[in-house]
């Protein structure tokens, strides 16, 4: 690992100021993606600004019909939260399936969505539930937040502070995990809420998470696995790698969508 200057932020403003004041700083949340990246010398920040000492960034609250998850909330905390389990069990389920227990003890929702790995789980929940990403500067609709492979709408030094999830009437997440890492080869998040049905697919798209609009309209008129059974997403837009071809991923999207619809009930 190249050396850097470790700095501990005491507030969100302090974190933003530390990033601003450094040559080329990176924020650190759980470090479960950042530290392996640094170990492999794939990045060389001048400074690493640790968000873990900021009080108030971790925790879950229910505000009206929304579940608000602080950016520094770990996957383990989301998975175990009574509020999340009762309001959005699909979200607790998703968090419980991320990586392994030690990754879940450290990894955070803020870090996961800021990183926007095309195979990460949380982006599908954010888009599938029509969540709002709250930063120190503004609120961004999930549909506008994930802009491409490892790309988001975040500006330099912009800090995610929370994610607001509307409570759906029903929702479920199904993933076909990579057996080694547990990242999604394909993951499908299906939700029915006040703004209709959403189907968000992760793991498969070349540009990361996307909405399967044909499935959404079919489910809007008939919320059943049969409604999506004959709908497939275009293979040409899908990833292929040593784990799965685009053809296989396209097939999995339909299978996972059917299973998610069944599970949502």
Partner 1 sequence: MTHSVSMTVNGKSVSGEVESRTLLVQFLREHLRLTGTHVGCDTSQCGACVVHKDGQSIKSCTILAAQCDGADVTTIEGLADGDTLHPMQEAFRENHGLQCGFCTPGMVMSALDLVKNNPDPSEKEIREWLEGNICRCTGYHNIVKSIKAGAGSMR
Ligand X SMILES: Cc1cc2nc3c(=O)[nH]c(=O)nc-3n(C[C@H](O)[C@H](O)[C@H](O)COP(=O)(O)OP(=O)(O)OC[C@H]3O[C@@H](n4cnc5c(N)ncnc54)[C@H](O)[C@@H]3O)c2cc1C
Return the residue of 2, 148, 195, 220 that touches partner 1, per CB under 8 A.
2
Return the residue of 17, 26, 62, 103 that touches partner 1, per CB under 8 A.
103
Return the residue of 181, 194, 213, 224 that touches partner 1, per CB under 8 A.
181
- Contact of residue 111 among ligand X, partner 1, none (CB under 5-8 Å per partner type): ligand X
Three-state secondary structure of the chain: CCCCEEEECCCHHHHHHHHHHCCCEEEECCCCCHHHHHHCCCCCCCEEEECCCCCCCCCEEEECCEEEEECCCEHHHHHHCHHHHHHCHHHHHHHHCCCCHHHHHHCEHHHHHHHCCCCCCHHHHHHHHCCEEEECCCEEEHHHHEEECCEECCCCCCCEEEEEEECCCEEEEEEEECCCCCCEEEEEEEEEECCEEEEEEECCECCCCEECHHHHHHHHHCCCHHHHHCCCCCHHHECCCCCCCHHHHHHHHHHHHHHHHHHHC
137 binds partner 1 (CB under 8 A): no
Using the minimum distance from each CB to partner 1, give the nearer residue, 5 or 61.
5
| Residues in Cβ contact with 242 at an 8 Å cutoff, skipping those fewer than 6 apart | none
Q: What is the dihedral of CA 178, 179, 183, 188, to 10 degrees?
A: 60
- Contact of residue 243 among partner 1, ligand X, none (CB under 5-8 Å per partner type): none
- Contact of residue 67 among partner 1, ligand X, none (CB under 5-8 Å per partner type): none
Using the minimum distance from each CB to partner 1, give the nearer residue, 131 or 174.
174
Q: How far apart are alpha carbons 167 and 150 in whole angstroms?
A: 27
- Applying CB under 6 A, the residues found at the interface with ligand X are 26-34, 36, 51, 71, 98-99, 103, 107-108, 110-112, 114-115, 117, 120-122, 154, 159-160, 181-183
By CB under 8 A, the residues from 24 to 63 that bind partner 1 are 31-32, 35-36, 38-40, 48, 50, 52
Would you state the structure tokens that stand for residue 87, as one six-digit string?
């309001």
Using the minimum distance from each CB to partner 1, give the nearer residue, 74 or 152.
74
Using the minimum distance from each CB to partner 1, give the nearer residue, 5 or 137.
5
15 C-beta neighbours (distance < 10 Å), count: 25
Query: Shortest approach of partner 1 to residue 10 CB, angstroms?
Result: 14
Using the minimum distance from each CB to ligand X, give the nearer residue, 124 or 254.
124
Q: How far apart are alpha carbons 264 and 84 in whole angstroms?
A: 15
Using the minimum distance from each CB to ligand X, give the nearer residue, 137 or 224.
137
Which range in 2-10, 61-69, 131-139, 204-212 contacts partner 1 by CB under 8 A? 2-10
Count of residues touching partner 1 (by CB under 8 A): 28
Using the minimum distance from each CB to partner 1, give the nearer residue, 45 or 157.
45
The residues that touch partner 1, with contacts defined as CB under 8 A, are 1-6, 8, 31-32, 35-36, 38-40, 48, 50, 52, 76, 99-103, 105-106, 180-182
């Amino acid at each position: 690992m190249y050396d850097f200057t470790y700095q501990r932020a005491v507030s969100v403003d302090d974190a933003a100021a530390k990033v601003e004041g450094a040559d080329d700083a990176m924020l650190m949340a759980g470090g479960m993606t950042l530290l392996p990246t640094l170990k492999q010398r794939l990045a060389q920040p001048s400074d690493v600004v640790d968000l873990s000492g900021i009080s108030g960034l971790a925790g879950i609250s229910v505000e009206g019909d929304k579940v608000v998850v602080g950016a520094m909330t770990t996957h383990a905390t989301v998975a175990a939260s009574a509020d999340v389990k009762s309001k959005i069990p699909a979200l607790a389920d998703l968090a419980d399936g991320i990586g392994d227990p030690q990754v879940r003890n450290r990894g955070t929702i803020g870090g996961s969505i800021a990183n926007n790995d095309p195979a990460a789980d949380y982006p599908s929940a954010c888009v599938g539930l029509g969540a709002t990403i709250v930063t120190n500067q503004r609120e961004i609709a999930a549909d506008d937040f994930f802009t491409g492979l490892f790309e988001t709408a975040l500006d330099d030094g912009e800090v995610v502070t929370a994610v607001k999830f509307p409570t759906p009437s029903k929702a479920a997440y199904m993933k076909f995990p990579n057996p080694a890492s547990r990242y999604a080869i394909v993951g499908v998040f299906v939700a029915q809420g006040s703004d209709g049905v959403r189907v968000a697919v992760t793991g498969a798209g070349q540009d990361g998470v996307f909405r399967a609009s044909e499935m959404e309209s079919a489910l809007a008129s008939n919320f059943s696995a049969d409604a999506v059974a004959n709908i497939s997403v275009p293979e040409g837009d899908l990833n292929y790698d040593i784990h799965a071809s685009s053809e296989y991923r396209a097939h999995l999207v339909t299978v996972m969508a059917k299973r998610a619809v069944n599970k949502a009930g």
